[in-house]
């Protein structure tokens, strides 16, 4: 019997799982749930809608791998249906390694990270490049995002899996950090004004203290 997880769990992988004691757990997963899921759920769709960054892995006909970062406004990866994703591919450095690989080997892999919450989703599938579908380009583009769409990549989902959060560094998006700092700055201004109105001098270095008397 074939399972969606076979896209990752080859016979070689299963052999190492058996040798190192993890095969029984994954075999139970296959028996109970058919292995990995092969359609995008509501929860995964919500996760994808928040991402502004992704890693796309491809390989050429000889098997040489390549990983390229792809980014855009949050939600730039669109869900066309439960088994199809697509995103605008913007003009970049014009090396064309990804599209060259896909022209001869359509197997692809998406790696979606959420560093702030220590979450990651892995998606296996097959992808192709679309060059001349203006309605699709319009659906995938965001007029507020300053980048020119060169083509689209359509990704057909074979399987997906959510990894454990171990060893993921907790990194916070710069925009979120700036929002938090702005809130702190507003609170500090309010505190300084309140202390000043109460006749208390405030020094960021020394802290609050009574203002010296003028007489």
Range of the structural domain that residue 139 is part of: 37-162
Q: Are residues 54 and 144 in the same domain?
A: yes
Structural domain contains residue 168: no
Q: Are residues 32 and 42 in the same domain?
A: no
Cα gap 32→23, rounded to integer Å: 14
The pLDDT mean for the chain works out to 89
Q: Are residues 42 and 32 in the same domain?
A: no
Residue 63 has pLDDT above 60, yes or no: yes
Edge-to-edge strand list for the sheet holding 53-59: 65-71, 53-59, 107-114, 119-130, 149-162, 84-90, 77-81
Q: Are residues 25 and 55 in the same domain?
A: no
Q: Return the higher-pLDDT residue of 173 and 45.
A: 45
155 within 8 A of 108, measured Cβ to Cβ: yes
Structural domain contains residue 189: yes
pLDDT tier at 165 (50, 70, 90 boundaries)?
confident
Which pLDDT value is given to residue 196? Answer: 84
Structural domain contains residue 215: no
pLDDT tier at 180 (50, 70, 90 boundaries)?
confident
pLDDT tens, residue by residue, 7-19? 999 999 999 999 9
Q: For the whole model, what pTM was predicted?
A: 0.81
Structural domain contains residue 135: yes
What are the structure tokens assigned to 107, written together? 């197997």
pLDDT tens, residue by residue, 74-118? 999 999 999 999 999 988 778 999 999 999 999 999 999 998 888
Structural domain contains residue 141: yes
Q: Are residues 122 and 43 in the same domain?
A: yes
Q: Are residues 11 and 45 in the same domain?
A: no
Q: Are residues 69 and 142 in the same domain?
A: yes
Q: Are residues 108 and 195 in the same domain?
A: no
Residue 213 has pLDDT above 50, yes or no: no
Q: Are residues 99 and 150 in the same domain?
A: yes
Domains in the chain: how many in total? Answer: 3
Q: Are residues 191 and 146 in the same domain?
A: no
Q: Are residues 80 and 98 in the same domain?
A: yes
Q: Are residues 111 and 188 in the same domain?
A: no
CATH number at residue 96: 2.30.110.10
Structural domain contains residue 105: yes
Residue 203 has pLDDT above 70, yes or no: no
Q: Return the higher-pLDDT residue of 47 and 132.
A: 47
SS3 39: coil
Q: What is the mean pLDDT of residues 194-205?
A: 75
Structural domain contains residue 102: yes
Q: For the chain, what percent of residues have pLDDT higher than 70? A: 93
Cross-strand bridge partners of residue 90: 149
Cα–Cα separations (whole angstroms), residue 47 to 54, 176, 198 = 12, 17, 48
pLDDT tier at 200 (50, 70, 90 boundaries)?
confident
Which pLDDT value is given to residue 116? Answer: 87
Structural domain contains residue 167: no
């Amino acid at each position: 019997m074939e399972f969606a997880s076979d896209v990752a769990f080859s016979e070689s992988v299963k052999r190492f799982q058996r040798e190192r004691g993890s095969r029984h757990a994954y075999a139970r997963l296959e028996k109970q749930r058919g292995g990995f899921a092969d359609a995008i759920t509501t929860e995964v769709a919500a996760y994808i809608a928040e991402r502004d960054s992704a890693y796309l892995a491809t390989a050429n006909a000889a098997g040489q791998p390549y990983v390229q970062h792809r980014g855009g406004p949050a939600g730039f990866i669109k869900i066309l249906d439960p088994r199809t994703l697509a995103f605008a591919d913007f003009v970049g450095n014009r090396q064309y390694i990804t599209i060259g690989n896909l022209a001869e080997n359509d197997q692809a892999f998406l790696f979606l990270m959420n560093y702030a919450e220590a979450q990651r989703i892995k998606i296996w599938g097959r992808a192709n490049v679309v060059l001349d579908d203006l309605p699709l380009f319009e659906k995938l583009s965001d007029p507020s995002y300053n980048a020119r769409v060169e083509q689209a990549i359509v990704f057909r989902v074979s399987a997906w899996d959510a990894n454990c959060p171990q060893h993921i560094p907790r990194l916070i998006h710069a925009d979120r950090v700036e929002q938090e700092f702005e809130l702190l700055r507003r609170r500090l201004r309010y505190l300084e004004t309140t202390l000043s109105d109460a006749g208390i001098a405030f020094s960021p270095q020394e802290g609050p203290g009574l203002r010296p008397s003028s007489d």
